[in-house]
Chain A
Amino acid sequence: MSHRTTDELPQGKQVKRFGLIWRIAHLSFALSVMLLILTGMAVFYADTTWAPVIMQAFGGPKTAGIVHRTSAAIMLSIFFMHLIGVATNIARNWKTFRWFGPDSLVPNWQDFRDVYGMFRWFLGKGPRPVFDRWTYWEKFDYWAVFWGMAIIGSTGMMLAFPNVTASLFPGWVLNVATIVHGEEAFLAAVFLFTVHFFNNHFRPDKLPPPDVVMFTGSVAIEEFKREHPAQYARMVRGGSLKKHLVDNPPRAFTLGSKILGLTLIAIGLMLLVLVVTGFISASTK
């Protein structure tokens, strides 16, 4: 009856999930990606009525282009710093690091079993799977950024430096880069503002939004236990739970995080509306 012991929850404590650097990285990612989407989609959907308004607000495509490139630079540099961070971290723990272990973001067989289990649960054919530290959708979000960075980032660089591109490749590469850049950006935008928002903020268990764990860094212990029961059990068994417990964040900090979260969600949903109207008007032309 090991899970009996787990019910003695320490009061007024939260479980730490994201360190400060990760949270700053996430916030800058969120802000820069929104700026990228806004300035990019205004060009991608130039035919819409809203696009010229956005362009004028930015003072023209030239300034919007600078904003776009600056945001891209911020995003890429965070991404590369993160790569370095992860690499050193792994190098330091090279001997003990378990690539496919529960603390690794590398997909493993358990993830596929979890997907299967989730669908069984959806259909009422089985229990809800219990998750360890990283769920498969969190892993997907993480690797989607890698993919997006690689695809959108590289094509974006090609388009930003056409002279270099055209000295190395034939011209059709620029044609292809334009298509890939736009479509992949569409994918990223719609994915973030539907699937990512739903998984983390709009599921019945998460209502009302926002979930602020990415801003405060820690999560109420009850919720942690509900969302990551396997990790919780692992911590209790290994006696490392205490090490991860932190005090409830100050009220003002939580409130600020909620306001920030709601603002970002609202902007995201507005961007979603713009992109969807753009998509509809482009496909009905």
Chain B
Amino acid sequence: MPEIKKLTGRAIQLAAFVSAIFLVNSLAALPASARPLSAAQTLDNERCLSCHATDQAELKTTSAGPLRGINRDKFGSSVHGEMRCIACHQDITDAATPHLKGAGKKADCIACHQELWETAKQEKLTAEKARLGVVVNNIETYKNSFHARPNKEDKTHVNATCDDCHDTHSFNVPPQGTSRRTEWHLTIPNVCGEKCHSDELEEYSTSVHGKQVLGEHNSKGAVCIDCHTTHGIANTSRDTFKISITENCGGCHAENLKSYRSTYHGQVNKLGYGYTAKCYDCHGSHPGDPASKVHPNNRLKTCQKCHKEATQGFVTFSPHANTHDFEHYPQVWIVSRFMWALLAWVFAFFWLHTGLWWYREARDRKAHKNHPERRKKIP
């Protein structure tokens, strides 16, 4: 009995609260325009899209730029296609122009997905929802990246948000290994270049890699993220970048990485120091003619960037010499064979000498033969 009383008491309290809010809300809304609506059920996606869809007239904004429209089909087929607009846009509490923003959170991939992943972990659904793990991983990587840091000119914004690279409303990176993924991959230079890095895109489009990707649609050519990584993009003047970039080039140019690693430049880089010559110090990063910096006519100048006093012989030094290519590096081939033979002979002789000596001396000791008298007569 007391329970029922309690419950009815609660119900009355709640009703009073709700109606009070209702009253305040409608009173506040009244002067703007006559809109009787308030409850969430009328803020469905269709209603939002009636103004925000791409097929609608462009909206007038009070803020600086125009609003991006939402493509119905793309939104529908995006990973969030089943979600309600206001699930993400919790600060939008009406359908008026301009919106009277509520206290709800603004849409934020990071907070929402970290929560989703926590829930998945609690429900032990991490295997089924592995993709959500990918999102969280990317978030973690992103957080330490150059893009997550405050912009130099406008400290209230970060350099790039998820949404800057992934249009949230159509976010749908196709699964790995599909031809759609390849298509998407080829558009990456535009993702990076169109809004932000137009100079680099321009340089890139004239480079070997850019010509392969943009010209020939060859997905084997390097796009921005092959060199810079995707979510972990580092400031290029940092050691992190200078050390990882050689590995990134090496992902495609394995032979060159290997030979580079056998030179002092590459060894110091491997040890974790970024100051010796890296691939791009000699080959350039994005520029047009890749041969220009390493062309024999320009090579000395390239060396002199670091070796100020470099002399003529630098031009004929082979920064990628290896010991197995006689055709290109005959001297290195010959000398390495000579050294190996020398090592083999010295060790073969002396280790045999050592081994036999050990054996004989140990036996002689056992037999107490190593006393001078027992030996051959001394001359």
Tell me the A residues contacting B by CB distance below 8 Å. Answer: 2-3, 6-7, 42-44, 46-47, 51-52, 55, 60-61, 118-119, 121-124, 127-130, 137, 159, 162-176, 178-180, 183-184, 186-187, 190-191, 194-195, 198-199, 203-205, 225-226, 229-230, 232-233
A235, chain B: closest CB distance, angstroms: 12
Report the bound CA distance from A122 to B363 in whole Å.
10
Q: Are B354 and A178 in contact (CB under 8 A)?
A: no
Closest B residue to A174 by beta carbon equals B317
Specify which chain A residues have a CB less than 8 angstroms from the CB of B343 in the assembled complex: 183, 186-187
In the complex, B372 has a CB within 8 A of chain A? yes
Q: Is B2 an interface residue (CB 8 A)?
A: no
Query: Is A180 a contact partner of B312 (Cβ separation < 8 A)?
Result: no
Task: Please encode chain B, from 257 to 268, with 1 for each CB lying within 8 Å of some chain A CB and 0 for all others.
Answer: 000010110111
B361 touches A229 (CB 8 A): no
Nearest Cβ in chain B — how far from A18, in angstroms? 22
Q: B21: CB under 8 A from chain A?
A: no
Contact call A3/B377, Cβ cutoff below 8 A: yes
A123 touches B342 (CB 8 A): no
Contact status A60-B356, CB under 8 Å: no
Complex Cα–Cα for A169 and B273 (A):
29
Contact of B271 among A55, A127, A183 (CB under 8 A): A55
Q: How far is the CB of A126 from chain B (nearest CB, A)?
A: 8
A229 adjacent to B378 (CB under 8 Å):
yes
List the A side residues contacting B378 at CB < 8 Å. Answer: 2-3, 6, 130, 229-230, 232-233
Chain A residues in 8 Å Cβ range of B353: 118-119, 122, 137, 195
| Interface footprint category on B | 35 or more
Given A122-B360, A162-B307, A195-B351 in contact, is the A172-B317 Cβ separation under 8 Å?
yes
A149 to chain B, nearest CB (A): 16
Contacts of B62 in A (CB 8 A): none
Interface residues of B, dominant DSSP: helix
Chain A, Cβ-Cβ closest to B366? A204
Counted as pairs of residues, one from A and one from B, with CB atoms less than 8 Å apart, the total is: 162
- B36 near A: Cβ within 8 Å? no
Partner of A163, one of B307, B323, B335, B375: B307
Q: How far is the CB of B313 from chain A (nearest CB, A)?
A: 3
Nearest CB of chain A from residue B350's CB, rounded to whole Å: 4
A-B contact pairs, 29 of them (CB 8 A): A3-B372, A6-B378, A43-B268, A46-B261, A47-B261, A52-B272, A61-B271, A61-B273, A119-B353, A122-B356, A122-B357, A122-B359, A130-B379, A162-B310, A166-B310, A166-B311, A166-B314, A167-B311, A171-B313, A172-B317, A179-B332, A186-B343, A187-B343, A187-B346, A187-B347, A195-B351, A204-B361, A226-B372, A233-B379
**Residue pair A173, B313 in contact (C-beta under 8 Å):** yes
Say yes or no: is B184 at the interface (Cβ < 8 Å to chain A): no
Is the C-beta of B376 less than 8 angstroms from some C-beta in chain A? Answer: yes
Inter-chain contact A179/B335, CB cutoff 8 Å: yes
* Contact A166:B313 (CB < 8 A) given known A43-B267, A118-B357, A194-B351: yes
Most buried by A among B266, B317, B373: B317
Contact B311 A175 (CB under 8 A): no
A229 to B377, CA, bound (A): 10
CB of B358 closer than 8 Å to a CB of A: yes
In the complex with contacts A171-B313, A178-B263, A204-B358 CB distance below 8 A: yes
A121 touching B316, Cβ below 8 Å: no
7 tightest Cβ-Cβ pairs between the two chains A and B: A166-B313, A171-B317, A171-B316, A122-B356, A167-B311, A127-B376, A46-B267
Asked if A51 and B271 make an inter-chain contact with CB atoms under 8 angstroms apart, the answer reads: yes
CA distance A204 to B360 in the complex (A): 9
* A172→B322 CA distance, assembly (Å): 12
| Residues of chain B lying within 8 A (CB to CB) of residue A203 | 357-358, 361
Contact of B314 with A171 in the complex, beta carbons under 8 Å? yes
B332–A174 touching, CB < 8 Å: no
